[in-house]
Amino acid sequence: MKTRKLRNLTVSAVGMGCMGFSHGYGAVPPESESIRLMRSAYEDYGCTFFDTAEVYAAYENEILVGKALKPIRDKIVLATKFMPEVFLPGQEIPEGKTSRKGVRNALEASLKRLQTDYIDLYYEHRVPANRDVAEVATWMGELIKEGKILGWGVSEATSEQIKRAHSVTPLTAVQSEYSIMERKYERDVIPLCKELNIGFVAFSPMAGGFLSGKYSAQTKFEGDDVRRVITRFSKENMEANQSLLDLLNRFAANKNSTPAQISLAWMMCKNDFVVPIPGMRRDERLKENFGAADVVLDKDELVALEKALAKITIHGDRKDSDIQKLGTIKTVAKS
């Protein structure tokens, strides 16, 4: 597969978001199947970038990813995250989670679960508005010097937070939601990343799967599936957003590709420092999503697509607060 640079790290043009193997999107595959799919991503498609977090199913996802990637650890780039001001079992320390000791303890625990002695890319999963991100940047710089991590990042950060953090310890990447259906970071964050040579990692690049065209207004989402509370998946909004899928289907037909591949190629062809990390739990999804790295939209095609998108209104969105109410993140928040 083609590769891209996230500042100091070289990764496959399309990465694998691993959260869905443990929770968040309904029934999960058996452990053996999840491990097979993660290894297939590398062995069959050349994916070298895998993303997890301590908070995904309260450690379970990191443990699973560690088992799957141990045989190929030296061949891939591994990213994980600590969640500030949210305590998981065993993380209650006097200094608090967002402290030098708290961050170090979280990292050491992740290293054990992931069966590795270093993390390529370690994120602050969210940046609290009431704390100075420069503190975390300082601690991350210390961990980089020690070789515990090779680079660091922030998720869902504002442009001001990014500037502040980067001025202390240069950021490797910013990870935030980005797709044809969610483009707010195009206003300031993505241009800033380009200016500062910071990679941008797009989570939910398929808008929770909507852009694949595999779901309809009649689809039922059950259990811990976050799409139960993501408003773009309400019956009314899915019907209202059908015009977007119709547009993607037209472009896909002209490129001998799929709507999913057009959606991923759209962001990759716009900026060479953007790396999408879609979740995928079936062989056909691996083939389709990783195949998007070979779909090229030239300048004229991008202009035409952007003009068509400008005429379409997107209905619904995704809010962290709604997802947390659903209870899919098994955590105990501390004030």
Lookup: tokens for 261:
């591949």
Catalytic residue among 56, 122, 178, 185: 56
Q: How far apart are CA 307 and CA 21, in angstroms?
A: 36
Secondary structure percentages of the chain, helix, strand, coil, to 5: 45, 15, 40
Q: How far apart are CA 52 and CA 210, in angstroms?
A: 22
Task: Judge whether 59 counts as a catalytic residue.
Answer: no
| Bridge partners, residue 155, by sequence | 175
Q: How far apart are CA 156 and CA 105, in angstroms?
A: 23
| Cβ neighbours, 10 Å, residue 26 | 16
Q: Which long-range contacts (CB under 8 A, 24 or more apart) does 104-113 make?
A: 104/139, 104/143, 106/54, 106/82, 107/82, 107/143, 107/148, 107/149, 109/54, 109/59, 110/54, 110/62, 110/80, 110/82, 111/148, 113/54, 113/59, 113/62, 113/63, 113/66
- Report which of 8, 83, 36 is spatially closest to residue 273, judged by C-alpha positions: 8
Q: Phi and psi of 123, rounded to 5°?
A: -105, 150
Q: Which spans in the chain are helix H?
A: 31-45, 60-69, 100-113, 133-146, 159-168, 189-196, 235-240, 242-255, 259-270, 283-291, 299-310, 320-326
Lookup: tokens for 248:
């993607």
Q: Is 39 exposed, middle or buried (0-12, 13-18, 19+ CB in 10 A)?
A: middle
What's the first-to-final CA gap in the chain, in angstroms? 44
Active-site residues, by number, are 56
